[in-house]
Chain A
Amino acid sequence: MSPARLLRTTCGTFLCAVFLAGLFAGGVTHYSYATQFREAPNAAPSPTHLFGTDSLGRDLFTRVLYGTRVSLLLAPAAAFLSTIIAGVFGAFAGFVGGWFEAAVLAVADLSMALPLLFVLLALRAMLPLDIDPVVSVAATFILLGLLGWQASLRVVWAASKNLRDSDFLLLARATGCPRSRIILRHVLPNLRPVLLAQFWISIPLYVLTEATLSMLGLGVMEPLPSWGNLLRGLEDFSVVHANPWRALPLVLLVVVVICFQLILPAQEEIA
């Protein structure tokens, strides 16, 4: 096995392990993510608390595991949604051209410029205050996916335009292949590397967007943890300096993102 392949296998295994640990968090740790050990706030890592505790005495390892479940399940869902929207509209716009292309790009430009924070605020206001935290965070991620497609769309559109005058597409058109079939069977598969790249890049972006939203009260409701709200206290470096273990969620996030990126070349090979 080549070193590159070994590395990708290791990353893939690590990601699976993290994902499974999050999915079966209840079996991995016997603590609840909400239990506060008030006699030990900001405790250092120990056999009792593997990652230490946060400022309210909650076991950080448990919160990271349950936070993984929220972030690693929902961020990819949001990324998938935005990539699908960008893929479909971008591919059609790039291939079809004309007024459709202009209209799609105009809508993309407009929505990039709008203060979409207010859309999120309006959604939050529409949701009942007593809503289950899981439903609330799922709704937030879905909305992020529905609103976050513009940058990906432009990239897909450019790639699609590039493909428009390719020989194989000219051949397909010459043989009388309908436009929709050309897009679905020839254009989109050739855009797969671009779409995959956008998908993988979007996942950590949505995790980080959720962190920013957490600060505005639009993120995950307490006490449900997510990587976003676990990162919140890190803006002040003296926190990290005094309690270095508080940076563990950030370290995990970085490692997971890097693993996502290292896996991507394998997908390109398969495509």
Chain B
Amino acid sequence: MIARSFWGFLLFAFAAFSPAAQAQSGGELHFCLHGEPKTFNPILVDDEAAEQIRYLTGGVLIRLNRQTQALEPALATSWDTSRDRRTITLHLRKGLRFSDGTPFTSEDVAYTVKLMMDPQTHSPTGDAFRSGDGAVDVKTPSPDVVTITFPAPIAGLDRLFDQVAIMSAHSPKKEMAVLGPFFVAEYKAGSSVLLKKNPNYWKRDAQGNPLPYLDSIHIDIQRNRDIELVRFRKGELQLINRLDAEQFERLRHDDPAVARNAGTGLDAEELWFNEVPSAPLPEYKKTWFHTTEFRRAISAAINRDDLCRIVYSGYAKPAYGPVSPANRFWFNSALEKPTYDPKLALALLTHAGFRHENETMKDAAGNRVEFNLVTNSGNATREKMAVMIQQDLSQLGIKVNVVTLDFPSLIERMTRTFDYDACLLGLVNTDLDPDSQMTVWLSSGENHQWNPNQKTPATTWEGEIDKLMREQASAPTDKERKAKFDRVQQIVAEQAPFIYLINKDVLVAVSSSVVGTAPVVLSPQAFWNAETLRLNAGAALGAQK
């Protein structure tokens, strides 16, 4: 009996003194954003910092659970989408109020949607819903029901509402009156944003306690990631949302408990060749870049495992294609894993008419194979990747000139002058659904980087991709959509207009004073569940500056 009591006591002590048990409500969480939020108006948000503020303050009708990647009811308790995917009917929670006490009704939803879809507003959030010409029809048959009809079908219609933070139609505080867990209490331009707990937040935990647990979140605007890490180590910050691999490795070495790897992320690094017919390049270079075997040879000649191991310290995986394996539904698992095969690369080039003589690769006309690879300056990992690619291709006798340019200069070359040979950039995927990347895959698209804004598809395979993307947008079921997009991924793997290199892991740092974090690959990775985060008793007052 005494033994049982003893073990019982030990168990009790462990439970009582564990971090979870010591955590309590209240306190201030402290972390940084890497840029200045340009606006607090949720429908005008188009930068990452503002999106993260919107996530913490905005109340949405339907929430995409960042962990399960499944849709959940939020302000709407349920919804129905019509078969033609043009109409959605949402049933709203009753008795809710904005942060300033203004009642929430279907009128607010109607106001938000109309404002968002107004062409004069130029809302980036609204762009996702712009499926065709014509006005959007919003009906509010009762204060807790709203029906929205779009002029044309929208793929994944319900998922898009995860980005739509509802604004009040009547509040004098306009967009500053919110329905999310926090509201913006103070903003010091260039310095910080203070979010305070929304006293009228509708959500409660399983025990019926009101959420959020935190009293406030103090967000500093800190662009310099090295300084952010120094401040985290000093205890001034309690989490870092995205760490680079080198910083993560050092942190893990010093304090493994705080360095958390959420797994393979959605983002990819990719390389492409300039295939714009009017580009100011020599004709022989255009011929190279238009040749599929050339592109596939370059892809085979790049050692992706080395890129992952050396540049990312092992916190990355070779990329298969445009969709990361982390995107569980849309990833095409039938794609072949990219392999490093210089012999295959040489064979492909030889087949395409190139020849390797005196350690130099030349084309059929005797031109030395040499091209410039541009990337943006200031990104150390990308510059290292470019140098490693330069070394890999030099084994085949191909000379690569790595040129780093500041971002505006790079964009100008990519989108206006087309004066570059090859470009190395990253693809940031904030949305799981490939429909959000229509402008990338359609040959007429603005972001069809290797040859944008085509009047007609330049190749048959681009024509096929156009057809498949349009079909998937209007396909009635997700299964059919996936089948079509799987085929798009297959074509991209075969033709290699983009040479996908790696998918980075999502690396975050979380102080032991924060309880309840569960980093995920979707943004915001470290604080997607901010409403249920708590601080340990010792850190109840938050980080001390």
Q: Which residues of A contact B (CB under 8 A)?
A: 34, 36, 38, 41, 55-57, 121, 124-125, 129-130, 133, 215-218, 221-223, 232-233, 235-239, 242
Contacting pair B310 A41 (CB below 8 A) = yes
23 residue pairs from A and B, CB less than 8 Å apart: A34-B390, A36-B388, A38-B306, A55-B246, A55-B384, A56-B387, A56-B388, A124-B409, A125-B409, A129-B372, A129-B420, A130-B401, A133-B401, A215-B378, A216-B378, A217-B376, A217-B406, A218-B406, A222-B386, A222-B387, A233-B380, A238-B254, A242-B250
Check A129/B421 contact, CB under 8 A, given A57-B310, A216-B406, A217-B404. yes
**Alpha-carbon separation in the docked complex, A125 to B185 (Å):** 44
**Alpha-carbon separation in the docked complex, A238 to B251 (Å):** 9
Within B392-447, the residues touching A (CB, 8 Å) are: 401-406, 409, 419-421
Question: Taking the complex as formed, is B391 at the interface, i.e. its CB lies under 8 A from any CB of chain A?
Answer: yes
**B535: min CB distance to chain A, Å:** 26
Chain B hits for A239, CB < 8 A: 246, 250
Within B233-276, the residues touching A (CB, 8 Å) are: 233, 246-247, 250, 253-254
Question: Taking the complex as formed, is B293 at the interface, i.e. its CB lies under 8 A from any CB of chain A?
Answer: no
Question: Taking the complex as formed, is B383 at the interface, i.e. its CB lies under 8 A from any CB of chain A?
Answer: yes
Check A223/B246 contact, CB under 8 A, given A56-B310, A57-B310, A129-B421. no
**B144: min CB distance to chain A, Å:** 53
Closest 8 A/B residue pairs (Cβ): A217-B377, A217-B404, A129-B372, A236-B226, A222-B402, A238-B250, A222-B387, A129-B403
Q: Which residues of B contact A (CB under 8 A)?
A: 226, 229-230, 233, 246-247, 250, 253-254, 306, 309-310, 370, 372, 374, 376-378, 380, 383-384, 386-388, 390-391, 401-406, 409, 419-421
**CB closest residue in chain B, given A213:** B377
Contacting pair B401 A221 (CB below 8 A) = yes
**Alpha-carbon separation in the docked complex, A265 to B97 (Å):** 77
Q: How would you classify the secondary structure of chain B's contact residues: helix, strand, loop or mixed?
A: helix
**A166: min CB distance to chain B, Å:** 49
Contacting pair A232 B380 (CB below 8 A) = yes
Chain A hits for B250, CB < 8 A: 238-239, 242
Chain B hits for A222, CB < 8 A: 383, 386-387, 390, 402, 404
**CB closest residue in chain B, given A215:** B378
Partner of B229 from A129, A216, A221, A238 at Cβ < 8 Å:
A238
Chain A hits for B401, CB < 8 A: 129-130, 133, 221
**A127: min CB distance to chain B, Å:** 9
Partner of A129 from B246, B386, B387, B419 at Cβ < 8 Å:
B419
Partner of B377 from A125, A215, A235 at Cβ < 8 Å:
A215
Given A222-B390, A238-B250, 13 extra CB contacts under 8 A: A34-B390, A57-B310, A129-B421, A130-B401, A216-B378, A217-B406, A218-B377, A221-B403, A222-B383, A222-B386, A223-B402, A238-B254, A242-B253
Chain B hits for A38, CB < 8 A: 306, 309-310
Chain B hits for A223, CB < 8 A: 387, 390-391, 402
**Alpha-carbon separation in the docked complex, A22 to B254 (Å):** 38
Check A217/B310 contact, CB under 8 A, given A56-B388, A222-B402. no
Contacting pair B229 A217 (CB below 8 A) = no
Contacting pair B391 A36 (CB below 8 A) = yes
Chain A hits for B404, CB < 8 A: 217, 221-222
**Alpha-carbon separation in the docked complex, A233 to B250 (Å):** 14
**A55: min CB distance to chain B, Å:** 7
**Alpha-carbon separation in the docked complex, A124 to B406 (Å):** 10
Contacting pair A221 B310 (CB below 8 A) = no
| Most chain B CB neighbours (cut-off 10 Å) among A36, A41, A222 | A222
**Alpha-carbon separation in the docked complex, A124 to B403 (Å):** 10
Contacting pair B372 A217 (CB below 8 A) = no
Contacting pair A217 B378 (CB below 8 A) = yes
**CB closest residue in chain B, given A136:** B403
Chain B hits for A34, CB < 8 A: 390-391
Contacting pair A129 B374 (CB below 8 A) = yes
**CB closest residue in chain A, given B403:** A129
Chain A hits for B406, CB < 8 A: 121, 216-218
Contacting pair A55 B310 (CB below 8 A) = yes
**Alpha-carbon separation in the docked complex, A57 to B387 (Å):** 12
**Alpha-carbon separation in the docked complex, A242 to B386 (Å):** 25
Chain A hits for B421, CB < 8 A: 129
**CB closest residue in chain A, given B408:** A121
Contacting pair A216 B390 (CB below 8 A) = no
**A101: min CB distance to chain B, Å:** 38
Chain A hits for B254, CB < 8 A: 238
**A195: min CB distance to chain B, Å:** 35
| Most chain B CB neighbours (cut-off 10 Å) among A36, A217, A237 | A217
**CB closest residue in chain A, given B420:** A129
**CB closest residue in chain A, given B249:** A242
| Most chain B CB neighbours (cut-off 10 Å) among A57, A121, A125, A238 | A238
Chain A hits for B253, CB < 8 A: 242
**Alpha-carbon separation in the docked complex, A121 to B380 (Å):** 19
**Alpha-carbon separation in the docked complex, A41 to B370 (Å):** 27
**CB closest residue in chain A, given B417:** A125
**CB closest residue in chain A, given B226:** A236
**B398: min CB distance to chain A, Å:** 14
**CB closest residue in chain B, given A34:** B391
**Alpha-carbon separation in the docked complex, A238 to B229 (Å):** 10
**Alpha-carbon separation in the docked complex, A236 to B243 (Å):** 13
Partner of B384 from A56, A125, A238 at Cβ < 8 Å:
A56
**Alpha-carbon separation in the docked complex, A130 to B247 (Å):** 33
**Alpha-carbon separation in the docked complex, A233 to B246 (Å):** 11
**Alpha-carbon separation in the docked complex, A216 to B379 (Å):** 10
Chain B hits for A129, CB < 8 A: 372, 374, 401, 403, 419-421
**Alpha-carbon separation in the docked complex, A232 to B381 (Å):** 13
